[in-house]
Amino acid sequence: MTEHSTPAPRALLDAWEELRRVSPIERALRLAALWDPHVEWANRTLGERDRALWAMRAALFGANVEAVVRCRACPSSYELVLGVDELSRPQPSSDSVEVSSGALVFRLRAPTSTDVIRALAGGGEQEILRSCTSVQEDGLDLSFEAVPRELHALLEEQIAGIDPQIGFALGIECADCAVRSIFRLDAGDFLYAELERWCRSLLREIHLLAQAYGWTEDHILALSSFRRRSYLELVEERA
Ligand SMILES: [Zn+2]
């Protein structure tokens, strides 16, 4: 069980500033750590991490996600409103699956962020397959090199199917040209973009209140958002 908490505005502002210079995967991990700092997110599955990100998204910015989908075949675009409960797929009953082919028995597990980081560092896609596969024949462990190449695609497919969160996508049919476009939303990228918008708007509030009342950033951040907005209304009335 994770012990999550909704991060305070100060922590969100600090995170926004720190995360500007890190890679998308590192960003997703650090955002998940804001939600629950006691979990070693790098070694949890990608699905588990993304479910945490969507849960944090719902707590911070609400349970509905608005997105624009552009048709891949014509100039039409569509506004989608999705519930976070549609984007966050249910946790599978197991993070691993067993499959066999002839005398070979494979134990496959869902990939973690560490697997992806290793793949990005030079191992390539195959590195994920290698890390997530153990193989036995007659109860004896074999090395990954013993796996016939023609089985790789099948094993990759099985790994992708372990957790419905991984590679989650929606097919949207265009009302104008009937072509289906695939819509994907990366939880980390999406949440970071929203965090950025939210922080810029918070900075604007701080700026206006500091100018009007001479308060410090700390003082303004200690106010509830309701109180900040109420003061802002007064400032705007006066202007
Ligand atoms: Zn279209």
Would 229 be classed as within a structural domain? yes
For the record, the structure tokens of 177 come out as 């040209």
Q: Give me the residues near ligand 1 (ion), CB cutoff below 5 Å.
A: 71, 73-74, 76, 174, 176-177
The position carrying tokens 């996508």 is 169
Q: What is the pTM of this model?
A: 0.89
**3-class secondary-structure state, position 65:** strand
Collect contacts of 115-118 with beta carbons under 8 A, ≥24 apart.
116/25, 116/46, 117/25, 117/42
Question: Among 80, 53, 77, 47, which residue's Cα sits nearest to residue 189?
Answer: 53
Per-residue pLDDT tens over the stretch 36-71: 999 999 999 999 999 999 999 999 999 999 988 899
76 CA from centroid of ligand 1 (Å): 5
Verify that 190 and 212 share a domain, yes or no.
no
Verify that 21 and 83 share a domain, yes or no.
yes
Verify that 35 and 82 share a domain, yes or no.
yes
Verify that 34 and 76 share a domain, yes or no.
yes
Number of domains in the chain: 3
Verify that 110 and 155 share a domain, yes or no.
yes
Per-residue pLDDT tens over the stretch 171-230: 889 999 999 988 888 999 999 999 999 999 999 999 999 999 999 999 999 999 999 999
175 CA from centroid of ligand 1 (Å): 7
Verify that 64 and 106 share a domain, yes or no.
no
Verify that 111 and 219 share a domain, yes or no.
no
Parent domain of 51: 9-87+176-195
Query: How far apart are the C-alpha atoms of 166 and 49, rounded to whole Å?
Result: 10
Would 29 be classed as within a structural domain? yes
Would 231 be classed as within a structural domain? yes
For the record, the structure tokens of 46 come out as 């990608």
